[in-house]
Structure 1
Amino acid sequence: MIRYGQQHITAEDIEAVIEVMHSINLTQGPAIPRFEESVKYACDAQFAVAVNSATSALHISCLALGLGPGDYLWTSPNTFVASANCGLYCGASIDFVDIDPRTYNLCPKALEQKLVVAEREGTLPKIVVPVHFSGQPCDMRAIHALAQRYGFRIIEDASHAIGGRYLGQPIGNCRYSDISIFSFHPVKIVTTAEGGVAVTNDSVLAEKLGLLRSHGITREPHLMTRPMDGPWYYQQVALGFNYRMTDMQAALGASQMTRLHDYVQRRHELASRYDDAFQGWPLTIPWQHPDGFSAYHLYVIRLHLDEIRPTHRQVFEALRERDIMVNLHYIPVHTQPYYEAMGFQVGDFPEAEQYYRETISIPLHPVLTDAEQDEVIEVLREAMRV
């Protein structure tokens, strides 16, 4: 079986986890700041807050930016549901901005058009969540310029994108955003098994994120509302959550981060092999914007269905039947039943919907061998009958 994504675990990773298990700190110990430092260094950011998932990181980032009832959060329909759900967790209303037909990211032109209408109607977003789909960065300079004009805050959902670059700088440096989010799920670039990190250059936001990940409890005197009773003392100063990452996860993540460059480089090598193999095929390969350097979390193809006999579903199922475990990223969020119940419907975001009807994510991960990739290419050729 050849999976679309797969973690790579080394002996060094295992030893790092075992070392924690032999220690007295299985959670809230020194492995957490070590992992956070590795992410800060990779992103050239000032602060990093590790949590138990990227979803948790999105949630507390929204709270740290003051999102609540009566506010609006906008994001891309071409994303995992968490990019939108995080706003609902805060009691906010959700809307979407259609995608660019080449990058599959949130389209700045569509965003600007929607902002003009929202300003007139009094429904401007408090937060916009651009999603760096498949590892390719959004046009953050354009989105940031719109934020300056219309007054919204920006959370980059960079769950796919650690190790990527935008305008020559690491994704996650927060030059054009308030907070950036990374995922460390097993199919991502590096893994902590489950886990997420929020990075920021704002010390106040970092302090809020740290509070919110652990029940809103602090032992820091400067955050307390009254004097300490003694060395045992703590105060709950906010309504937080138990979103903590364990030291075992953090140790795995810190070990994995030492190979971040190698993992991204291998993904680029594999993507280049696909690009060469698919020349002349009735499909569209991932287009790469010259301003970005993708982390290549995914390699997505778009079938030219008017040029081939099999349907989208038939090609997908033919690959699965041969143990090529392809996937589809993503079903547009606004077409999910939960969101349809809010009033969204098919036809609202046509670019994302057309993309969904044509796309397949094929295997791409650092342990994929050239021989396995050749097998994927040959089975796809047979499935498409080209």
Structure 2
Amino acid sequence: MTKLIPYGRQDINEADIQAVIDVLKSDFLTQGPAVPAFEVAVRDFVGAKHAIATSNATSALHLACLALGVGPGDIVWTSPITFVASANCAVYCGAKVDFVDVDLDSFNMSEQALRCKLEHARKARLLPKVLIPVHMGGQSCNMAAFYDLSKEYGFSIIEDASHAIGGRYQNQQVGSCQFSSITVFSFHPVKIITTGEGGMAITNDLGLAKKMQLLRSHGITREQSEMVSIPDGPWFYEQIDLGFNYRMTDIQAALGLSQMSRLHDFVIKRNSIAHRYEKLLKDVPVFLPKIAKDTYSAYHLYVIQLNLELISSSHKNVFNELRNAGIGVNLHYIPVYLQPYYQNLGFSKGYCPNAEKYYSRAISLPMFSSLTDEEQDWVVTQLIKAIQK
């Protein structure tokens, strides 16, 4: 095997390319018909009422926090095993961020840790305004339990489903928002489907949808019912809030709309690859991801954890050996609170023991829909070789 096998890769076909070309030849490269068409496609697929396409998932998370009124003096809780954007979105709003430890089987936010932290927070009067559970790797968190806790403790929920479009929970598509106020998807190239860069916020609440739509485009409205003044003419608009330029282009949306036609096939293929990994690695000293009975993972990632007690090599050495063999493994993620920015806010090593244990032994193996059996066999062969070295 001579070529590099990345941990993730987009799958672009001729139909995708033609969809983009059609937009490039059209009258609208942005703010045209492709964006609302893409929004409708995703909205209908997940079975929700409203969809707001954005420039990326980070901007969608920011809009979601703002729509829920997150601001100075508020507290937002999220997972430490995620990309930094899941926490940064609350800091952008002036809120404080805290972290709930993860479960070592699913890598998702631990229900037990959340319950314990909420009990202590209620006594200290430091309950969160918003909880942002992250569907790590494509598997949904236990959202029904989190939703029950939200009613008991009075917080809202934003599902960070950046990894999970096409996944299911309790026989419903992730993004239905049955157990949350807002769900956020990512369409980065290594995700399940891509728009190049892009994101989307999903909600069943019309008020939240309108707020996010307003803030997505500078806080400007052309709706007379929302204006302070009587319009001077048909050209008139008003900025009624301080918003942002978080819009998705029609070029991006056209690609996303085309990719939606293959989303189901992508997820089936990823699950097939995951099941094959499970068979190939069953006798290897690694901990494999465990999928809960009521979930169907989109498998954005396939993360193993090395059983370091049974191997002679170190985590770093195994990682380096795989990279040297042309396998672009990665590590998702460094616990967010260990980043210098968050350490400067008072967090330190030892804060979430499970997250740190996970980090000390996790490796993301290649997982993408076009991964061949030959490539997968090479990955497993080199992993076994690296462990034994």
- TM-score tier (shorter): over 0.9
Question: Equivalents in 2 of 1:122, 1:269: separation in Å?
Answer: 47
Question: Equivalents in 2 of 1:273, 1:113: separation in Å?
Answer: 37
Question: Equivalents in 2 of 1:241, 1:152: separation in Å?
Answer: 26
Alignment of 1:338-349 (within 5 A): 338-349=341-352
Match of 1:181 in 2: 184
Shift, 1:314, TM fit: 0.3
Match of 2:320 in 1: 317
The 3-state SS of whatever aligns with 1:161 is coil
Corresponding residue to 1:136 among 128, 135, 139: 139
Q: What TM-score, normalized to structure 1?
A: 0.99
Stretch deviating more after TM superposition (38-47 or 175-184)? 38-47
Q: Does 1:49 align with 2:49?
A: no
Match of 2:239 in 1: 236
Shift, 1:270, TM fit: 0.5
The 3-state SS of whatever aligns with 1:48 is strand
Match of 2:151 in 1: 148
Shift, 1:118, TM fit: 1.0
The 3-state SS of whatever aligns with 2:371 is coil
The 3-state SS of whatever aligns with 1:156 is strand
Question: Equivalents in 1 of 2:334, 2:82: separation in Å?
Answer: 8
Shift, 1:226, TM fit: 2.3
Corresponding residue to 2:358 among 338, 355, 360: 355
Match of 2:218 in 1: 215
Match of 1:104 in 2: 107
Shift, 1:356, TM fit: 0.3
Corresponding residue to 2:285 among 259, 277, 282: 282
Corresponding residue to 1:190 among 190, 193, 212: 193
TM-superposition CA deviations, 1:314-341 (whole Å, max 9, x none): 0000000011000000000011111000
Question: Equivalents in 2 of 1:299, 1:56: separation in Å?
Answer: 26
TM-superposition CA deviations, 1:198-223 (whole Å, max 9, x none): 00000010000100110000101121
Query: 2:209 is matched by which residue type in structure 1?
Result: A
Question: Equivalents in 1 of 2:38, 2:65: separation in Å?
Answer: 23
Corresponding residue to 2:116 among 109, 113, 118: 113
Q: In percent, how many aligned pairs have the same letter?
A: 56
Shift, 1:96, TM fit: 0.4
Shift, 1:101, TM fit: 1.8
Q: Does 1:381 align with 2:380?
A: no
Question: Equivalents in 2 of 1:175, 1:146: separation in Å?
Answer: 14
TM-superposition CA deviations, 1:144-191 (whole Å, max 9, x none): 001001110100000000000000000000000000000000000000
The 3-state SS of whatever aligns with 2:360 is helix
Query: 1:384 is matched by which residue type in structure 2?
Result: I
Question: Equivalents in 2 of 1:223, 1:147: separation in Å?
Answer: 32
The 3-state SS of whatever aligns with 2:106 is coil
Query: 1:328 is matched by which residue type in structure 2?
Result: L
The 3-state SS of whatever aligns with 2:201 is strand
Match of 1:122 in 2: 125
How large is the Cα RMSD of the aligned pairs?
0.7
Question: Equivalents in 1 of 2:360, 2:294: separation in Å?
Answer: 28
Question: Equivalents in 1 of 2:288, 2:224: separation in Å?
Answer: 55
Q: Does 1:13 align with 2:5?
A: no
Corresponding residue to 1:370 among 360, 370, 373: 373
Alignment of 1:239-278 (within 5 A): 239-278=242-281
Query: 1:331 is matched by which residue type in structure 2?
Result: I
Q: Does 1:301 align with 2:304?
A: yes
The 3-state SS of whatever aligns with 1:12 is helix
Match of 2:29 in 1: 26
Q: Does 1:205 align with 2:208?
A: yes
